[in-house]
Amino acid sequence: MASFPTCSASELTPLLGLAANATAAADYICTRFTATSEKFSDTTYAIDNTYLLFSAYLVFAMQLGFAMLCAGSVRAKNTMNIMLTNVLDAAAGGLSYYIFGFAFAFGVPSNGFIGKHNFGLKSIPSSVYDYSYFLYQWAFAIAAAGITSGSIAERTQFVAYLIYSSFLTGFVYPIVSHWIWSTDGWASATRSPTSGSLLFGSGAIDFAGSGVVHMVGGIAGLWGALIEGPRIGRFDHSGRSVALRGHSGSLVVLGTFLLWFGWYGFNPGSFLTISKSYGTMDTYYGQWSAVGRTAVTTTLAGCTAGLTTLFSKRLLVGHWNVTDVCNGLLGGLAAITSGCAVVEPWAAIVCGFVAAWVLIGLNKLAEKFKYDDPLEAAQLHGGCGAWGLLFTGLFAKKQYVHEVYGDGRPYGVFMGGGGKLFAAQIIQILVITGWVSATMGPLFYALKKLKLLRVSSEDEMAGMDMTRHGGFAYAYHDEELSSHPPTGFMMRSVELSSASPTTENGLK
């Protein structure tokens, strides 16, 4: 927030001379000046809050992207199920984050591990937080839950989604965001001096959430998928991988573009304000320029990762696959999220190129160990998110780090900044992995033991849309056409009966 000059009548009076009304004139001038200054201050608050609210809306729109991507990546018989889980992530996550999550993440004052104030948004708005900040952080929290739902798609009971989503958004994710983003967090790069010293004199830089959001969601999904086991038919009797392809490439592409669009609220929006001046001689350069640069680095990383995946998969498997390209692009976006504000645009190209190969390599590894993740969520968000944290420790630029986090901070190894920031990034990867594993792993295991995790094999084969949600997503009636059937090829509705067995996709 920019500071405005003040006016003192006692200092102004001598400058007006010895006129009898000099004091009155000084009082009048200062009164008008103060009123104008307060108006500018109010306008600045309004601009910054509007910017944050708009960014929150963009991030929330990513839920629609997740829903479309998930729907297109699963088989048609599970479309209703996966769409409902995405709605549940937002709804259950909203209540749990309101009651507990926000307080655990950002309740001040607190200790380095967990927040302990502002439950149920008590004492908000305040000089520290406004409602817009809560909305923005809630959108991040439900994004993490949405990532996890992709890993355990097509075989998970609905009650398990409800339990894990509330637990993840209300407790697991907020603790990590407190460590990294709160001014009291023990690993935070924005830690206040009154809370203690910075980790390695640097703090862990995760500007928009490669670790806090993507690794948390990805690792949670990893444990869920490992404990559940692969879908029926994903690997044959000899252990070879069998592709269970999603039913709609169109939905995958639509979801990818919606997520890409929302990422412009995710990354540039993480500045939280836009009106801040950096106090340079160039009046055209300020935080508004950094916001624009962050949007550029985000774009370049995603584009590079998408193209790298396109040509790499063409060489590896012999064809152009739109789903692989979409996942590669999202992997690049997940990776650049950590360092988007502190790296040069050319470095973002490096980030996207490596992220594509990280995803390809992890997918090969997943097949080798018979790990089944329908949306590649653990590999994409967990693996590429971890690479993004390391990338920041290597390529963060001195000028940008100092503008965003303050003077005198360590910066990237390859930019001449030494290894302190890189060490902090490694610590961040380790603690996120350990924390999520120690909390979500036992939760999924307990759900399995209580028989609340996986659906029966019969339900899984038939499809949860029919067995759990009352019918398929794509249903229509053609009675009106029966008397005047059209010529040529046409699709017709399918009705299930007890006498007619169903195939894997629920069709006769």
Question: What pLDDT shows up at residue 27?
Answer: 72
Burial class (CB in 10 A: 0-12, 13-18, 19+), 506: buried
Give the global pTM.
0.87
* Structure tokens given for 167: 């637990």
Residue (of 387, 270, 422) closest to 340 by Cα position? 270
State residue 8's pLDDT score: 67
Tokens of residue 296, six digits = 């550029």
Q: Are 53 and 132 in contact (CB under 8 A)?
A: yes
Alpha-carbon torsion angle 112, 208, 131, 279, nearest 10: 90
In the structure, how many helices (H) and strands (E) does the chain have? 18, 0
pLDDT (tens digit, 9 = 90+) per residue, 378-413?
A: 999 999 999 999 999 999 999 999 999 988 899 999
b/e map 66-104, b = 16+ CB within 10 Å: bbbbbbbbbbbbbbbbbbbbbebbbebbbebbbebbbbb
86's enclosing H/E stretch is helix 79-96
Q: Which two tokens stand for residue 259?
A: 């997520």
CB 97 within 8 A of CB 170: yes
Question: What per-residue confidence (pLDDT) applies to 177?
Answer: 97
d(CA 321, CA 333): 19
The count of other CB atoms within 10 Å of the CB of residue 117 is 13
Which pLDDT score, from 0 to 100, does residue 490 have? 45
Q: Which amino acid is at 163?
A: I
pLDDT digits (tens, 9 = 90+) for 207-250: 999 999 999 999 999 999 999 999 999 998 888 899 899 999 99
C-alpha 55/C-alpha 14 separation (Å) is 49
**What is the C-alpha separation between 188 and 35, in angstroms, rounded?**
37
Helix orientation angle between 131-151 and 249-266, rounded to the nearest 10 degrees:
150
Query: Would you call 289 helix, strand, or coil by DSSP?
Result: helix
Q: Quick: pLDDT tens for 22-53.
A: 677 767 777 777 777 767 777 888 999 999 99
Q: Answer whether the bond into residue 109 is a cis peptide, omega within 30°.
A: yes
Domain 48-231+249-276+284-466 homologous superfamily, CATH = Ammonium transporter AmtB like domains (1.10.3430.10)
Show the tokens assigned to 23.
């004091």
- Ordered by start, the domain boundaries in the chain are 48-231+249-276+284-466
Helix (H, G, I), strand (E, B) or coil at 373: coil
Q: Is 32 helix (H, G, I), strand (E, B) or coil?
A: helix
Measure CA 201 to chain center. 27
List the chain residues with pLDDT less than 50. Answer: 1-2, 478-482, 486-491, 493-508
Secondary structure (DSSP) of 236-255: -TT--B-----S-HHHHHHH
d(CA 118, CA 342): 31
79-96 vs 158-167: helix axis angle to the nearest 10?
30
